[in-house]
Structure 1
């Protein structure tokens, strides 16, 4: 099968041309930086609860399972399901305005987190926070896909995903510094207020598509057609299916890191504030390098061979994942522990750019946001949520069984699917190479 869906003539006419989608370089870079800033806020809001893991588990009397439910299924169920429809909506409406709605919603609910007094109250707030956050990435990556040339997409997506390490790192640093001064509740109030203020700037952003293209998409493709479009895309491209499966396996393994703050304090015996600040610095330093390096090197390899971004993912995980296992067994008194921790943070973010750039290569432009949302749904619901839940359950089981390091054992089991992602990327890369070779052979024959 071909790796790309065949478009009808009407759909081709509604697809933006290269001259329309690649605008002024300065405005394009400004747009990338601003959307990345919003993504930083997105991840900071989302992971602040993990930065305050020790405090919130203590103050709200939460078990490990309850805490992992809050960071996993309670949040991601609404985040992913609503994200699918928000992604379909982003393909059909003015995307900057849609993003503005999402940011205002999640920021107001982030502030409301500061009022929670128990598991049920916090669960309800987290649930609806996910609805607002579901808007940003499908719409933002769709806009960036329109504004950047194909050979720059992994870098653009990787730069956008700087929001992950910087936002996560900022959440831990806020918890370890500002949190000790004003308390965890006030930190949620402050971040929520910042998001509400940033909402106004969204109305200054330009939509790369013109009104005619938006109206065409809205009239010819109702949102209710989203499931049929996704099914068509998956049937048309086995490589796309393998890409999504590989992404799910990678994110499942990363979901096992949800108890890292508790692990550093309880099993590695670091002070709470030191653990928060260390995690923040490592997320920013290692994560930023991983995002930039991943996007740049994947684009570089893609320029030399078909499926290059997928080969990059397979190679980098083959080399990097074993370091994650070594890291769990090292003593914190040696430099090797911090080196492995840094590499581990790189591994968390290094695949974002290549993954989402490959996705955009495998689907038509008018399905970009829809399929981005579907991939996020799969990676979050079956990756992050199940990974969080698995490590929470295993940690409690191992603790009950009397093991001295229950979280270490739980995380090492939870990371195993990371290795299974490697053959998925290899097979998808080979499919892309075969598809390109057949296409080339057909052109020569003609």
Structure 2
């Protein structure tokens, strides 16, 4: 397997694929006015497309695809995922109704669910513990870059080509990437049975037992899920700034997009690299670093909800909210894979993605909206300010869980960190 001899090239390739995945994923948001108009969608239908369809598919399939990646060739699992989501992105450009778009987007999400579990396990194998957080952070840089690219494409080439042609082009690009990727060989059948993942149900039960028996691993996963409530709040940020802080919708949308692109990317890169350096000096390693990171950002994020619009603290707090969730990715997944046996790293990653999508992104977003509506009916003049502040507090409580994980792990290295398989040809 010659390609494993160039970890940096593997990382660069996975970053490009991750960027493509999040560009395809967020293109629906970038073209939302045109798609709603052309398909005659209601806001409820659009919300279902952007939220429930994605979570139901991606959340469940991430764990299933993770079990496959622990048993079979990871490059080919990724290639199959890229092929599925790209073909369905292409199909999205042909959709003529809400029902057709639901089917297409459901399978786009199913295909994309194959990438993260397989890629995280692959990077955990190719990079040592001292560099793993940096590698993970660089890989997850694909999230803010993909979000930014989707809106830039929609506003530039998309304005000329239209949303259908843009979806077609992205689908063709993805298919072109998937075909050579499928040729990469990784023969995991030669591994001993105890070194490979088990069938789905057996593997899923083993993961639940592992997460339940390791307090450090369980606490880390809980903290990682909670910090994603910042993303749930982000869904209401523009509405909050316009309705309750009196900002101009078009101007703040552009500003939010630019700041998220810059500080989300900075968070992914700096969080992973700094985490690798600092974690070696802290008792509790990456978990202690994440707890400190959350506590440093907390005052900025909380004060941002109440300081005057346009003040330096306002924008610093907004940028801290974009920075924090991306900054914990490298350390969180480095810690999680380090505490997980190599034979189930993809499945544990998929399980974590399932929890994030269901509890933080889906349920979290719905609860924020419901509470805001309740406070509005009760006569509150700033319902979103109150609810988003409470959501921020809950996200910041992740520091407690990271601290508990640090206490449980101390400076001990889990045996799983040494359980790296040799490269076989």
- Using a 3 Å threshold, how does the CA distance of structure 1 residues 320 and 372 change in structure 2: closer, same or farther? same
The range that moved more, 253-262 or 83-92, is: 253-262
Whether the 8 Å contact between 2:300 and 2:313 is mirrored in structure 1 is: no
CA distance in 1 between partners of 2:271 and 2:165 (Å): 36
Q: Deviations over 1:68-117 (max 9, x none)?
A: 44333321122121111110110110111111110111122223333446
Q: Report the count of equivalent residues.
A: 412
**Hey, what does 1:161 align to over in structure 2?**
140
What corresponds to 2:103 in structure 1? 124
Cα offset, 1:315, TM superposition = 1.1
Query: Aligned pair in 2 of structure 1 residues 401, 182: CA closer, same or farther (>3 Å)?
Result: farther
* SS of match in other structure, 1:351: helix
Q: Which of the numbers 17, 26, 41 marks the counterpart of 1:47?
A: 26
* 1:99 equivalent in structure 2: 78
Among 235, 242, 252, the alignment partner of 2:212 is 235
Residues 345 and 149 (structure 1), Cα distance of their counterparts in 2 relative to 1, 3 Å cut: same
The structure-2 alpha-carbon separation of the partners of 1:286 and 1:434, relative to structure 1 and needing over 3 Å to count, comes to closer
Distance in 2, Cα, partners of 1:110 & 1:300: 40
2:248 to 253, 263, 270: 270
- The structure-2 alpha-carbon separation of the partners of 1:387 and 1:304, relative to structure 1 and needing over 3 Å to count, comes to same
How far apart, CA to CA, are the structure 2 residues paired with 1:331 and 1:118? 44
Q: 1:21/1:190 Cα in 2 relative to 1: closer, same or farther (>3 Å)?
A: closer
Q: 1:91 touches 1:217 (CA, 8 Å); kept in 2?
A: no
What residue in structure 1 maps to residue 406 of structure 2?
Answer: 429
CA displacement at 1:33 relative to structure 2: 0.6
Of 191, 203, 208 in structure 2, the residue corresponding to residue 213 of structure 1 is 191
1:398 and 1:174 map into 2 onto residues whose CA distance is: 38
TM-score, length basis structure 2 = 0.86
Matched with 1:62 is: 42
**RMSD of aligned alpha carbons:** 3.0
Separation (CA, whole Å) in 2 of partners of 1:402 and 1:373: 42
Question: Which consecutive unaligned segments of at least 5 residues does structure 2 have?
Answer: 415-425
Alpha-carbon displacement from aligned partner over 1:170-221 (angstroms, at most 9, x marks no partner): 12222333343344444333322322222123135453x6551288756x83
Q: Summarize deviations over 1:112-144 as a string: whole Å, max 9, x none.
A: 333446654443333222211110000011111
CA distance in 2 between partners of 1:53 and 1:326 (Å): 32
Does the 8 A contact of 1:35 with 1:160 survive in 2? yes
1:32 is matched with 11
Task: Quote the residue 2:422 is aligned against.
Answer: none
Counterpart residue number, 1:4? none
1:189 has 2:168 as partner: yes
2:326 aligned partner: 349
Q: Which residue of 1 aligns with 2:296?
A: 319
Question: Could you list the per-position Cα deviations for residues 348-385 of structure 1 after superposition, in whole angstroms to 9, with x for gaps in the alignment?
Answer: 30011111001011111111111111111111111111
Q: Name 1:442's counterpart in structure 2.
A: none
Question: Could you tell me the TM-score, scaled by structure 1's length?
Answer: 0.82
Q: 3-state SS of the aligned residue for 1:363?
A: coil
Asked whether the 8 Å contact 1:249–1:383 carries over to 2, the reply is yes
Partner of 1:298: 275
Task: Tell me whether 73-82 or 323-332 shows the greater mean CA deviation.
Answer: 323-332
**Taking structure 1 as reference, are residues 314 and 124 closer, same or farther at Cα in structure 2, changes over 3 Å only?**
same
Cα deviation, residue 257, structure 1: 1.3
Tell me the SS of whatever aligns to 2:72: coil
Q: Could you tell me how far apart the structure 2 residues matched to 1:389 and 1:111 are? A: 30
Unaligned runs of 5+ in 1: 1-19, 438-446
